[in-house]
Amino acid sequence: MKLIGGKRMCNVSNEKKIAIKAARRELFMLTDDEINPEWDKDPANIKRRDELLDIIERLKNGPVEHNSYQRYFDRRPGLEDRVLGLLRSGATGLEINAAVGVSIPRQIAYLRRKYRLPGRNQGRTEEKAMTNFVESYR
């Protein structure tokens, strides 16, 4: 993993890294005051600089595709709906893993974030706290 421009580029392919480096190199050569002291007065240089900045941003960010967890569910049709149904019914991660037959804790956490479902023990902890509260007054 390399730092390019102060940012980690671990999720960028090697071809894109090479293209980004080439664009940055050309941008540096174009805007260097020692090499080209009056670069900002030439409209062609300004236009090329804007194009290079756009190329760098597009390559660095690129079109955001599904993350790896979503791809996991995309490759297994029906699994997301099954796990989602179990999550909404209040099943724990271990119960979901047993029902699905595969250990997928990170994918389960991804679905909780995606659908804004309560965390691992949030629902059960609230019920337990309420039970303890009621029992303390008996």
pTM summary value: 0.44
Task: List the chain domain ranges.
Answer: 3-61, 68-136
30-76 pLDDT, tens digit per residue, is 888 888 888 888 899 889 999 998 888 887 776 545 578 888 998 89
What pLDDT is recorded for position 99? 93
Q: Cα separations (Å) of 56 from 6, 21, 132?
A: 14, 9, 57
Burial class (CB in 10 A: 0-12, 13-18, 19+), 48: middle
